[in-house]
Amino acid sequence: MTKYLPQNTGDIARRYISDPKLLKFIDMECYCWSVVPADKTPMINAGMVFSDRHYGGINYPKGGVGQIAAKLVEGLIKSGSEIQYGARVTKILLEGSRAVGVKLATGKEYRARRIVSNATRWDTFEKLLPAEAMPASEKRWQKRYQKSPSFLSLHLGVKAEVLPPGTECHHILLEDWQKMEDEQGTVFVSIPTLLDPDLAPPNHHIIHTFTPSWMEEWQGLSPQDYQHKKEVVAERLIARLEKIFPGLSDGLDYQEVGTPRTHRRFWDAMTEPMAQFPNGN
């Protein structure tokens, strides 16, 4: 697989495929998880994801994706580990060039033989470590990669009759291929209650809609303007969803909008959680 590290999915796809519709499908297959088309998606990443998605199908955890974290926690505790919640790390402690511990916002320090950061690369090297500690390899990486957009999320609670029998769990809505990479151009839809009805009250479904959106689109707004923009965007998304779920508006029981600002607030992250592979390199 290492030979695919410097290659992008688009170049390899065009080497063997000429059908324009199939090439667009591969573009969307890449975009739905990398937020860039095939010619900007590393082949080594695409190979792993395509295999997971198309060989054996996708499994859904009973009780929602949060159960994955809950079970990991359960296993860690059983093995003797301790998990501290709400423990905000503000600094990675160094001795020379080696990470030896972390410092919390409370001032408390923890030290260990191995320190693992699950923050974004930008947060790890630009917030938690001093600038002079950034390795040359990381500087090269940051020049090659760029941050992807964040997401706008629309969580809906709807009456069950809105969804006709046979409705699939996942949908991708794109009216114009030329706008696939635009802010809010592509809409992703997940309906987990079709697989796990216990997640919603009886005779109801959860529709989670999300679409790429840049932080810059939501900055500099007053509280009133911010709330108004959320309402306008929600109405626009619902109108688009009506094309595949007629009567959706009339069946709405609950609505909640999350913006890139929401993600930053709850994740406490300075950047969006993904990275792009630009220029086909």
- Interval 107-113 mean pLDDT: 95
Q: Spell out the SS3 assignment of 60-121.
A: CCCCCCHHHHHHHHHHHHHCCCCCCCCCCEEEEEEECCEEEEEEECCCCEEECCCCCCCCCH
Domains in the chain with CATH codes: 2-55 (no CATH), 68-144 (no CATH), 148-278 (3.30.519)
Q: What's residue 269's pLDDT? A: 53
Q: What's residue 281's pLDDT? A: 40
125-172 confidence digits (pLDDT tens): 999 999 888 989 888 878 777 677 889 999 999 999 999 999 999 999
Find all residues with CB under 8 Å of 230, minimum gap 6, and list them: 257, 259
Q: pLDDT grade, residue 6 (50/70/90)? A: confident
95-107 confidence digits (pLDDT tens): 988 999 999 999 9
